[in-house]
Amino acid sequence: MISFLRKKGIELSLKTYVITALSYMALGLFASLIIGLIIRTAGEQLDIEMFITIGQTAMDLMGPAIGVAIAYGLKAPSLVLFASAVAGGFGASAGGPAGAYIASVLATEFGKLISGSTKVDIIATPLVTIFVGYLSMKGCSLSES
């Protein structure tokens, strides 16, 4: 089992999830929420509507930025990386930056498990990644909407 996980690029360790994933989460948070707040505040202070819009949009995309940053940090394959944007968005909508972290880590690791395992990877990999991101924030209950 350990060799299978290693082959898929999954290392179950505190270093992976506390140091690496949180470090990349911080990069995603900085590149979206924090920079967006700076731009929006500048726009408010200088009365430049375009800056306000740009800054707010950057802030609103914090979840997807965290999702991609974590997937990149965990060395996810391309399809997992891109689908992790959706997972991060789900997580952020349910639990802010912490929710984005949880959904992104789980979605990325499950996506990595599937990636390269099927003849329909282009469908299966993002499908699994997105669904795990969604279900991680919904308590795995399909009856919720």
- Is residue 101, in this structure, part of any structural domain at all? yes
**pLDDT recorded at residue 143:** 45
2: how many CB neighbours lie within 10 A of its CB?
9
The whole-angstrom separation of Cα 3 and Cα 70 is 23
**pLDDT recorded at residue 134:** 95
- Is residue 59, in this structure, part of any structural domain at all? yes
Tokens encoding 139: 């308590």
If one counts the domains in the chain, the total is: 1
Rg of the chain, C-alpha, whole Å: 16
**pLDDT recorded at residue 106:** 96
Asked whether the beta carbons of 74 and 83 are under 8 A apart, the reply is: no
- Is residue 32, in this structure, part of any structural domain at all? yes
- Is residue 100, in this structure, part of any structural domain at all? yes
Q: Which helix (H) or strand (E) holds 69?
A: helix 62-73
> pLDDT tens digit string along 34-74?
999 999 999 999 999 999 999 999 999 999 999 999 999 99
> pLDDT tens digit string along 70-94?
999 999 999 999 999 999 999 999 9
Average pLDDT over residues 102-120: 94
49: how many CB neighbours lie within 10 A of its CB?
9
The residue segments making up the domain with residue 47 are: 2-137
